[in-house]
Structure 1
Amino acid sequence: MENPDFTGIIPILVTPFDGQNRIDADSLQSLIEFNIDAGVHGLGIAIGSELYKMDAAERDEILKLTVAAVRGRVPVVMNVSAQGTDLTVAQARRAAELGADALMLFPPSFMPTGPDSGADCFEAVGRATPLPLILQDVVQGPIPAAMARAVLAHCPTARAIKVETMPTVSQVGAMAAQVADSLTVIGGLAGTYMIEEFRRGARGTMPFCSQPAAFVSVWDHLLAGDEAAAREVFDREIMAVNRLGAQQHDLFYHVHKQMLVKKGVIARADVRAPTALPDRITQGEIDALIG
């Protein structure tokens, strides 16, 4: 896909698993169609896909399945973050071979080595593949505006930055003021602050994939300048889900997968270990929310 600009709604796919803890290809295809039918502007495979719990063969499998199901209708973004530059480059090359339209990564973070080495990692990926690159600013691997500008100076494939360090609203504003002329600023954290971030210069978000139509509706209202309508949809359909998902540990996986099962989109709501299973009260809250 030529030159995606990463504006709009780019949901992160959860990974449906079957009863043997394998990727459920049929449910994944159903999930992709559910999102594309809702009018999303791209699809991502990343932390929200439990990618960090997959071996190399499974990473290949989910990307191949997604590319085949999408059939070029929207850009497919693959997260290639790793704890070493060479490994990141190898994963980036593999993603390109398997048909990803864009890459996303945060700097190696297990052993912090400073912003220069983080920028070097992005530059190495930019040299290794021509795919457009989304920088991911996360708590464990923050990307300050100065680092983003350093990457831009040496990595012409950089196209966007996903801002997820807290407090995200002010961080989006500060980042947009510094780099919006060169990078599309997009939000994450399940799209929880997409309206506030939009006011401050964000031009897209990466939510979970369980409510694509609601997020697209909010986005369309924002583009039309009708913030009141955007807020009404957000508060009615999205806010309670995001509040519950952020309540504890990795509860968001359970909430979004159970919603998708309830809607008949995927077959099972299994979350791979390690995970914090909802306790009785929390499961009751999920049941009450999704009906």
Structure 2
Amino acid sequence: MQMAGGVLPVLATPFDRHSEIDRTQLERLVDWQYEQGADGVTIAMVSEILRLSVSERESLAAAVVAASADRGSVVVSVGHESTHLATRLAKSAETTGATAIMAIPPISVPLADDQLLGYFSAIADSTVLPLIVQDASGYVGTPMSISLQARLLEDFGAEKILFKPEAVPLGPRLTALMDATGQRAQAFEGSGGSALIDTYPRGVVGTMPGSDLTWAVKALWYALENKQVARADEIHSALLPLVSLSPGLDTYIAVEKYLLHKQNVLETQYVREPASYRIDEATRIVADRMFDQLNHVVRGGKK
């Protein structure tokens, strides 16, 4: 399947009470994404991949590809602290039937641009799949240089190398990337849809929000695609406060799983330990109120 843009939600990974991946809940979650209008699905940081073994990541990717059943693109994150294991994951994703792979830089040690170039080049060379280079510094690590990203596109081409820029300030850095690549860079927004108002006019080809608010982000994307400026502003204004409840990775995972449970998509809200955040009653009250406001704006209160 050819890589497509649009709304490609990052799946939460459902766990059972024994902290094992729950395949039944996972299949329901994937089905729900397409029911809400998703153009594909993604496995990435919010999927708790840093808490999964390599074999679990391979198994998760295979399960998601099977559940997706050619209904849309499937992007599989393969970034690792080891180039050897990152390339293993990339090859496995290709064998499994993924549409594209995505990779963050190693995060345990700071690397110079030449080392990062070698890491991403090795991943790109290991598979025929397109590679989305994710600057995940909004959550972890340090920002990647624009010149390095432009070099990767120059070396491999715009159909092979795509981007998910998350370093701040997001808008100006996205414009800098577009300028450095002669407007050839294909980039995905990665801020839960909250930055789409700023990044869509700068040329993003899609967004990778969490999997809890796919219906809202899809409505926002549709409004932007169809130049419905007032409608896009209205949805964005209701979406932003809810996304802003999750400033960090563990916070995002906890709120996402709570909202998926609230919508009867997931039966459980388990996360893998250790986790630095648990959603408390005060946050639930605020999240419920903001969710209801967003639901009213997007769907008139209908579920």
Using the size of structure 1 for normalisation, the TM-score is: 0.92
- Equivalent AA in structure 1 for residue 218 of structure 2: V
Does the alignment pair 1:282 with 2:274? no
State the shift of 1:160 in Å. Answer: 1.4
Q: In the alignment, which of 37, 41, 44 is matched to residue 43 of structure 1?
A: 41
Q: Secondary structure in 2 aligned to 1:277?
A: coil
Q: In 2 relative to 1, CA 265–180 (structure 1 residues): closer, same or farther, beyond 3 Å?
A: farther
Contact 1:13-1:44 at 8 Å conserved across structures: yes
- Equivalent AA in structure 2 for residue 231 of structure 1: D
Partner in structure 2 of residue 163 of structure 1: 165
- Equivalent AA in structure 2 for residue 19 of structure 1: R
Q: Which consecutive unaligned segments of at least 5 residues does structure 1 have? A: none
Q: In 2 relative to 1, CA 27–180 (structure 1 residues): closer, same or farther, beyond 3 Å?
A: farther
Contact 2:90-2:127 at 8 Å conserved across structures: yes
Distance 2:224 2:102 in 1: 25
Q: In the alignment, which of 185, 189, 213 is matched to residue 183 of structure 1?
A: 185
Partner in structure 2 of residue 149 of structure 1: 150
Q: In 2 relative to 1, CA 180–250 (structure 1 residues): closer, same or farther, beyond 3 Å?
A: farther
Q: Secondary structure in 2 aligned to 1:146?
A: helix
Distance 1:195 1:15 in 2: 28
Partner in structure 2 of residue 193 of structure 1: 195
State the shift of 1:197 in Å. Answer: 0.8
Partner in structure 2 of residue 257 of structure 1: 257
Partner in structure 2 of residue 118 of structure 1: 116
- Equivalent AA in structure 2 for residue 215 of structure 1: V
Q: Secondary structure in 2 aligned to 1:66?
A: helix
Q: Tell me the C-alpha RMSD between the 2 structures.
A: 1.8
Contact 1:257-1:269 at 8 Å conserved across structures: yes
Does the alignment pair 1:9 with 2:1? no
Q: Secondary structure in 2 aligned to 1:244?
A: coil
Point out the more displaced range, 272-281 or 160-169.
272-281
Listed as ranges, the matches of 1:1-291 within 5 Å are: 1-2=1-2, 4-5=3-4, 7-139=5-137, 140-156=141-157, 158-179=160-181, 181-236=183-238, 238-246=239-247, 250-275=250-275, 276-290=277-291
Distance 1:290 1:198 in 2: 24
Contact 2:152-2:161 at 8 Å conserved across structures: no
Q: Secondary structure in 1 aligned to 2:187?
A: strand
Contact 2:58-2:89 at 8 Å conserved across structures: no
Distance 2:270 2:102 in 1: 25
Distance 1:106 1:57 in 2: 18
Q: Percent of pairs identical after alignment? A: 29
Contact 1:79-1:105 at 8 Å conserved across structures: yes
State the shift of 1:290 in Å. Answer: 4.6
State the shift of 1:258 in Å. Answer: 1.0
Using the size of structure 2 for normalisation, the TM-score is: 0.88
State the shift of 1:268 in Å. Answer: 0.7
- Equivalent AA in structure 2 for residue 273 of structure 1: E
Distance 1:19 1:92 in 2: 30
- Equivalent AA in structure 1 for residue 120 of structure 2: F
State the shift of 1:193 in Å. Answer: 0.8
State the shift of 1:72 in Å. Answer: 1.2
Contact 2:150-2:177 at 8 Å conserved across structures: no
Q: Secondary structure in 2 aligned to 1:150?
A: helix
State the shift of 1:54 in Å. Answer: 0.5
Q: Secondary structure in 1 aligned to 2:257?
A: helix
Distance 2:143 2:246 in 1: 23
Cα shift readout 1:69-89 (whole Å, capped 9, x = no counterpart): 101111110111111222211
Cα shift readout 1:142-186 (whole Å, capped 9, x = no counterpart): 332211121123324633110101111221222122226332122
> Aligned pairs, how many?
287
- Equivalent AA in structure 1 for residue 273 of structure 2: A
Distance 2:122 2:74 in 1: 21
Contact 1:180-1:201 at 8 Å conserved across structures: no
Contact 1:145-1:175 at 8 Å conserved across structures: yes
State the shift of 1:249 in Å. Answer: 6.3
Cα shift readout 1:185-207 (whole Å, capped 9, x = no counterpart): 22112222111111222221110
State the shift of 1:280 in Å. Answer: 4.2
